Amino acid sequence: MNEATFTFRVDEALKQAFGDAAKARDRTSAQLLRDFMRAFVQQQQPSENDAQFRLQVQAALDAADAGQLVPSSEVEARFAARREATRRRLESTK
């Protein structure tokens, strides 16, 4: 692994407090900073679930743009029927 030096300015009190906190966890400031940097980079990379969700959203937007919409009255009727079927199933188990 090629290593590079990362230099930046920070308030002396913050540097000291960070160093003390790192030492309390048996780590160096540099180790913690590397850990934080890795975690931050990993958070920026979209997960597989995120990528799949974005594809589903885009497909829905494309369908809407193409006029492939279901009227709200039809959606309401479908879910009213599902609710009724669920009520009947629940009542039959009593």
Task: Please report the pLDDT score of residue 48 as a whole number.
Answer: 79
Task: Going from the first residue of the chain to its last (94 residues), give the mean pLDDT of each consecutive group of 10, the final group possibly shorter.
Answer: 89 97 96 95 83 92 93 95 96 87
Cα 6 from chain centre:
29
Name the pTM for this structure: 0.50
Task: Please report the pLDDT score of residue 71 as a whole number.
Answer: 92
Cα 56 from chain centre:
15
Task: Please report the pLDDT score of residue 49 as a whole number.
Answer: 83
Type of residue numbered 67: G
66 & 85 share domain: yes
73 & 85 share domain: yes
Range of the domain at 81: 48-92
Task: Please report the pLDDT score of residue 23 as a whole number.
Answer: 96
